[in-house]
Amino acid sequence: MFSLLPHRKHALWLILLLLGQSLWAKTWNICNTCENSSIKETIALAKAHDTLLVQKGTYLEYEILVDKPLVIKGIDYPIIDGEEKGEIFRVQSDNVSLDGLFIINVGVSYTKDNAAIRVVQSKNFRIQNMVLEQLFFGIYLEKSSHGKVYHNRIIGEAVDEYNSGNGIQLWYSSDVEVSKNHVQGTRDGIYLEFSDRITITDNVSMDNLRYGLHFMFSNNDVYANNTFENNGAGVAVMFSKFITMKNNTFKKNWGTAAYGMLLKEINDAKIIGNTFEENTIGINIEGSNRINYTNNDFIGNGWAIRVVGACYTNSFKGNNFLYNSFDISYNSKLNDNVFEGNFWSSYTGYDLDKDGVGDVPYRPVKLFSYVVNRTPETIVLLRSLFMDIIDFSERVSPVFTPDNLKDAQPLMKIRS
């Protein structure tokens, strides 16, 4: 009985709301044979807080300006064909909601960033269940905030970087939630620039030309439970502070400059519970400080972690390093980072006191990785007996690798 009560309350509110709406908000039907057959004209006729129902059909329209708070909802995915003439939707008002439209043929331009949907200086917008194809830019949020981009499908066919756009782009926006979207075949799947307090969850970003997710100068953002697969260069997080990255999967980013994740000038971030699988480089770290790497899995990468330079006070704890060609690679003799309590699949020590922690420290940096850094062609000698002998002797008495770079408490069993 009690559990039913809140529902009743909701129902009551809903009825009140509907009654209220019918009093001053109008619902407009748009279809090819109706009185209102154009979205653009109907928007001009409609008053604020009206609802526009776009029925199934094909609408050849572009540069549709939404300048008042409206709900535009597609029934059975009506097709809005921009005929490659330019931008399609431009939202310039608070409280706009776009739902269930199928937008195709955004015009490619070399001077303007044409988008399927552009939101400009608006608040409380909601873009959901959209399908965007044959696009230039997908959803472009410009100086907007407190909105939601939910459950959209963006499928591009980008071939070259110079004439393709980003799937979802946020520019000077804040407090936006981007979730359950599927982005593929664009330049950057999701791109953030100067955007703070953004939450990015449960998205799939794959087969993009450049980055699956790209951060620039954006602080206090969270991204969690996303999957980034087979992107040209993986995920790049640059020049940002206080970012939380949790439970994401980075997979199969292969190539000479492909990273599961590229960190550049990132400070005070948290990287927890992510999976890096079969990337050329799992994480490439450059100039990043005070980052906690906890409970991540690095499986079958070429390099699990490559530290390029100027990284201080980072801590790597409780991670699994499984069958990577190189676990850690350093290019300097200095080390200020802490490795503790990780599981390393190539650890060969023993545990006499049976406390689950190896009695001999593990040195994750192979001498060979230094050789490869210096002369990259030597990679063809990977796993040769000669290199194994050299690595072994270096491990016994380190000369080239930082002496304090070691995991003094390597786990004996894999962290599950």
> Which chain residues interact with another protein by CB under 8 A?
254-258, 278-281, 300-303, 323, 325-326, 345, 371, 374-389
Minimum CB separation of residue 384 from another protein in Å reads: 5
Burial, 166: exposed, middle or buried (Cβ in 10 Å; 0-12, 13-18, 19+)?
A: buried
Ordered DSSP codes for 106-163? PPP-SSS--EEEEEES-BS-EEES-EEES-SEEEEEES-BS-EEES-EEE-----STT
Cα distances from 123 to residues 68, 72, 139, 141, 143, in angstroms, run: 12, 16, 15, 10, 9
Cα 296–Cα 299–Cα 302 angle in degrees, nearest 5: 115
Comparing CB distances to another protein, the nearer of 28 and 298 is: 298
Comparing CB distances to another protein, the nearer of 90 and 366 is: 366
Q: Are 253 and 275 in contact (CB under 8 A)?
A: no
Q: Are 264 and 236 in contact (CB under 8 A)?
A: yes
Minimum CB separation of residue 376 from another protein in Å reads: 4
Comparing CB distances to another protein, the nearer of 28 and 344 is: 344
Minimum CB separation of residue 333 from another protein in Å reads: 18
β-bridge pairing 292-294 and 303-309: unpaired
Minimum CB separation of residue 390 from another protein in Å reads: 9
Comparing CB distances to another protein, the nearer of 338 and 387 is: 387
Comparing CB distances to another protein, the nearer of 8 and 354 is: 354
H/E stretch holding 267 reads strand 259-267
Q: Which residue carries 């006191």 as its tokens?
A: 353
Comparing CB distances to another protein, the nearer of 178 and 281 is: 281
Minimum CB separation of residue 96 from another protein in Å reads: 45
Minimum CB separation of residue 325 from another protein in Å reads: 4
